[in-house]
Amino acid sequence: MGVKESFLVKNKQITLDNIAEKIGVSCTTVSRVLTGQSKKYRISDRTTEIVQQTARDLGYVPDQLARALRTKRTNTMGLVIPDISNPFFSTIARNIEIQARKVGNSIILADSQEDTQLEIESIRLLQSRKVDGLIVCPVGEESAHLKDIVNSGLPLVIIDRYFTDLDCAYVVSDNYHGALEAVEYFFQMNHRSIGYIQGRVNTSVNSERIRGYRDAHARFGQAVDESLIVGDSFGKRNGYIGAKILLAKSPRPTAIFAASNLISLGAMTAIQEEGLKIPEDISIISFDEQPYSEYLATPMTTVAQQTSETGEIAFKLLQSQIQNEGSPTTEGIILPTELVFRKSVKQLKHPT
What residues line the site for a copy of itself (CB under 8 A)?
A: 6-11, 61-66, 68-69, 74, 76, 79, 83-87, 90-91, 93-94, 97-98, 101, 104, 106-111, 113, 121-122, 124-130, 151-154, 236, 262, 265, 268, 290-292, 295-297, 299, 325-326
21, 63, 273, 331: residue in contact with DNA (rule CB under 7 A):
63
Closest separation in Å from C-beta 165 to a copy of itself: 16
d(Cα 172, Cα 31) in Å, to the nearest integer? 43
* Position 26 contacts DNA (CB under 7 A): yes
Q: Can residue 62 be called a binding residue for DNA (CB under 7 A)?
A: yes
Select the residue interacting with DNA from 49, 57, 58, 66 (CB under 7 A). 66
The span from the CA of 283 to the CA of 297, in Å, is 13
Can you tell me the distance from the alpha carbon of 9 to that of 343, in angstroms, rounded to the nearest whole number? 63
What DSSP state is assigned to residue 16? H
Q: CB-based contacts of 253: which residues, under 8 Å, 6+ apart? A: 193, 194, 195, 228, 246, 282
Q: Which is nearer to DNA, 41 or 292 (CB)?
A: 41
- Report the partner that residue 32 touches, choosing among a copy of itself, DNA, none (CB closer than 5 to 8 A by kind): DNA
**Candidates 23-31, 199-207, 212-220, 255-263; binding stretch for DNA (CB under 7 A):** 23-31
Q: Which of 261, 273, 269, 247 is closest to 300 using CA atoms?
A: 261
At how many degrees (to 10) do helices 16-23 and 45-58 cross? 120
34 binds DNA (CB under 7 A): yes
The residues near 239 (Cβ < 8 Å, ≥ 6 apart) are: 197, 231, 258, 260, 262, 263, 264, 265, 266, 267, 269, 270
- Given the rule CB under 7 A, which of 31-39, 141-149, 276-284, 297-305 is the region that contacts DNA? 31-39
Stretch of 33-41, 192-200, 213-221, 274-282 contacting DNA, by CB under 7 A? 33-41
Q: Which of 6, 10, 24, 152 is in the footprint of DNA by CB under 7 A?
A: 24
Do 293 and 300 form a contact (C-beta atoms < 8 A)? yes
Question: What phi and psi, each to the nearest 5 degrees, are found at residue 8?
Answer: -90, -30
Part of the chain binding DNA (CB under 7 A), chosen from 56-64, 94-102, 111-119, 208-216: 56-64
Rule CB under 7 A: is residue 69 a binding residue for DNA? Answer: yes
109 binds, among DNA, a copy of itself, none (CB under 5 to 8 A by kind): a copy of itself
Cα-trace Rg, the chain: 27
Burial label, 159 (beta-carbon count in 10 A; 0-12, 13-18, 19+): buried
Contacts 24+ apart (CB under 8 A), 17-22: 18/58, 18/60, 19/51, 19/54, 19/55, 19/58, 19/60, 22/54, 22/58
Angle at 168 between CA 167 and CA 173, to 5 degrees: 115
Quote the least distance from Cβ 89 to a copy of itself, whole Å.
8
Q: Which is nearer to DNA, 24 or 275 (CB)?
A: 24
Least Å from the CB of residue 10 to a copy of itself: 4
* Of the residues 21, 28, 101, 115, which one makes contact with DNA according to CB under 7 A: 28
Per CB under 7 A, residues contacting DNA are 13-17, 20, 24-29, 31-32, 34-35, 41-44, 46-47, 60, 62-63, 66-67, 69-71
